[in-house]
Amino acid sequence: MKKALILFVFSVFANVACAQPSKSYYFADTLIDIFTDIRNEPFPLEESKKKGDLPFKSILKLAVHREQVFDRAYSRLKILGNLDDATFKESAEIFSVSIVLLQISNSDIKNYAESVLNSPELVMKQGTTLRKIAELKGASEDAWKAYAESSSIVTYPLMDGVTSLKEFKQQDPQKMMQPIKKLRLTKAEIELLKMHLQKSFGQVLADNTKAGYIDVPAIVMWRFLNDDWIPASD
């Protein structure tokens, strides 16, 4: 009942406050959808193991799922890059590089899992298998780290006064020391985005101790929105 009431209030607030959402709101809200989609995994490896699935079958299930998720994320970032604003385009393009790295790593994992399932004799070569798994694990770790580290770039288009990431980085150092205080989001839009993050990521936003690379973009966005900003006028 309580959950239903929260969802009802959220939907009413969204319809009233953002009947015509700004481009900045659309950009941030779409990114949160991407973060959420990437984090949701219907095939957790531990649960798959409990069901009796072979290790590589579990890995293949997850890889197939992630392949679809990463493809959706890349497609949505391409759409954001088409928004009529240089900062949206630059930010989406830079962040999409991390998605491409995840796609490449995941494709390698998927292909290897398929090859092992189709040719069980590969598992008998234990030394080769262990080396390959270590190699794939290392590449995956690097890709997820890049995803986490590039997440701050998507907050730049939300700041009022940043018209181009390239120009912003090349401007006078003294000017860069003067912090931007205003957002291109209204107070209502900021609150809606925070509600979206809370609904999707919940406790991890309050307690980061159990967070992984996969949670970092949401945490970065959460901290950004909760900073001491001057919102745009309604």
Cβ contact 154:95 at 8 Å: yes
Grade residue 120 by pLDDT with cuts at 50, 70 and 90.
confident
Alpha-carbon distance of 137 to 215, in angstroms, equals 18
What pLDDT, on a 0 to 100 scale, did the predictor assign at position 190? 97
**Which pLDDT tens digit goes with each residue over 88-110?**
999 999 999 999 999 999 999 99
Q: Average of pLDDT values for 226-233?
A: 92
> Residue 159 gets which letter from DSSP?
B
- Given a cut of 70, whether residue 176 has pLDDT beyond it is no
7 phi/psi in degrees, rounded to 5? -65, -35
Hey, CA dihedral for 101, 102, 105, 108, is it positive or negative?
A: negative
Most confidently predicted of 40-44, 59-63, 76-80:
76-80
* DSSP string for residues in 98-140: HHHHHHHHHHHHHHHHHHHHH-THHHH-HHHHHHHHHHHHHHH
Alpha-carbon distance of 199 to 26, in angstroms, equals 17
Hey, CA dihedral for 10, 16, 17, 23, is it positive or negative?
A: positive
Q: Enter the pTM of the model.
A: 0.82
**Percent of residues, the chain, with pLDDT higher than 70:** 76
What pLDDT, on a 0 to 100 scale, did the predictor assign at position 106? 95
What pLDDT, on a 0 to 100 scale, did the predictor assign at position 20? 78
Alpha-carbon distance of 168 to 160, in angstroms, equals 12
Alpha-carbon distance of 135 to 120, in angstroms, equals 19
- Given a cut of 70, whether residue 168 has pLDDT beyond it is no
- Given a cut of 50, whether residue 27 has pLDDT beyond it is yes
Q: Which of residues 104 and 206 earns the better pLDDT score?
A: 104
Cβ contact 55:130 at 8 Å: no
Alpha-carbon distance of 37 to 217, in angstroms, equals 12
**Percent of residues, the chain, with pLDDT higher than 90:** 54
Alpha-carbon distance of 31 to 212, in angstroms, equals 18
Cβ contact 59:115 at 8 Å: no
What pLDDT, on a 0 to 100 scale, did the predictor assign at position 74? 97
Q: Average of pLDDT values for 206-220?
A: 91
Domain boundaries, given as residue ranges, for the chain: 16-32+50-232
- Given a cut of 60, whether residue 29 has pLDDT beyond it is yes
**Which pLDDT tens digit goes with each residue over 32-55?**
999 999 998 765 555 555 555 557
Alpha-carbon distance of 126 to 144, in angstroms, equals 27
**Which pLDDT tens digit goes with each residue over 143-165?**
999 999 999 999 989 998 776 66
Cβ contact 19:180 at 8 Å: no
